[in-house]
Amino acid sequence: MIFEDWHLMLVLGVFILVHCAKPLCERCVELEERILACFHMASALSCVRFVMLWLCMLQPFLFCSAYLYKRAHNAPSQLVLLTHIKTNPELLLNETLEFGRNASHGALSAVAVTLSWRTLDYMFFVVPLALTLCWSTMLWMQLSHTHVLHEGQSWDSDIVESVGTYEAVYLLELLALNLACIGVTSHGRTSIEIFYLCMALTLLMVHCLSSAFVERDGKAEAWATCAYFVVLGALMRNWWIEMLQAACAGTVLIAIAHTTAVTAICWVHATGNGQRLASTIIAVRTFASLGVCMVLLCVYVAGWEASC
């Protein structure tokens, strides 16, 4: 399935819709005014912060621009191969019994097990992440603008209700993050493998997110943290082994960025113990997703043919 022009128009339409939402639009206008005055600010860190925010909010636009650039230069489409295994249980059972009775029979019949494959455009995996990153960034900016969140505030149970909408959108962002990275690095894997790995990893990260609000004693925190990373290692092990065998620079780069982002997010939340600052939580979330997005964008612009 190829990413086409009508898909591009749909993405840009959602992008404009998000940016034109009334409570968020006011914040964007204010942010634009502050960016225009950026050179008058004394703090270089403030300038870096504004650049980072706009990179987050413009991710869908950047990916669409990259798509138009590649299309204008007639670059080959970046396709991800997905396989599908279909079995006929009755024939498979008969073939297995026959094979057990007569070892000289050879391999199972192709009628019992059939293998098919299809290709899916790279953009279908990465665009959901770009859109959800843009959306979540604007939401926490709105919370900061209304003083619901501030730098010295603790990320504890007192702010759970205040950040409910942002948390819900961020959960979608985590799912999109895992889908994007696992999807584009899983050449030749079945769609059901990708689905279950994405869901399992996302559920683990959701559990870590909920742990950030809870105060625990030191021993319980240590055991919980160990459990998180044991499960995380078990989930990622087989995927990493299969991925590294591809020996593709772009795939390895995305996998490293994804693993770093997942580890950072899980660690910060699992060890939060209701004492992390809101600024730390938001910063780690934003930098992790933005870093992965930029790696995905660079690999997309370079193309598989340049990195494999």
Q: Helices (DSSP H) in 212-277: which residue ranges? A: 218-244, 249-270
d(CA 223, CA 218): 9
At 249 the pLDDT is 77
Amino acid (one-letter) located at 142: Q
**Within a 13 Å sphere around the CA of 34, how many CA atoms are in the beta-carbon half?**
16
95 neighbors 128 (Cβ within 8 angstroms)? no
Task: Please tell me the pTM assigned to this model.
Answer: 0.82
Residue type at position 179: L
Query: Which residues are CB-contacts of 160 (< 8 A; sequence separation ≥ 6)?
Result: 167, 213
* Encoded tokens for 15: 């992008």
pLDDT at 81: 76
Q: How far apart are CA 106 and CA 91, in angstroms?
A: 15
Q: Which residues of 145-170 are buried (b: 16+ CB within 10 A; e: fewer)?
A: eeeebeeebbbbeebeeebeebbebb
What per-residue confidence (pLDDT) applies to 290?
Answer: 94
Res 174: pLDDT: 94
Element of type H or E holding 140? helix 122-145
- Residues of the chain with pLDDT below 50 are 41-42, 103-106, 108, 110
pLDDT on residue 291: 94
CA distance 75 to 69: 9
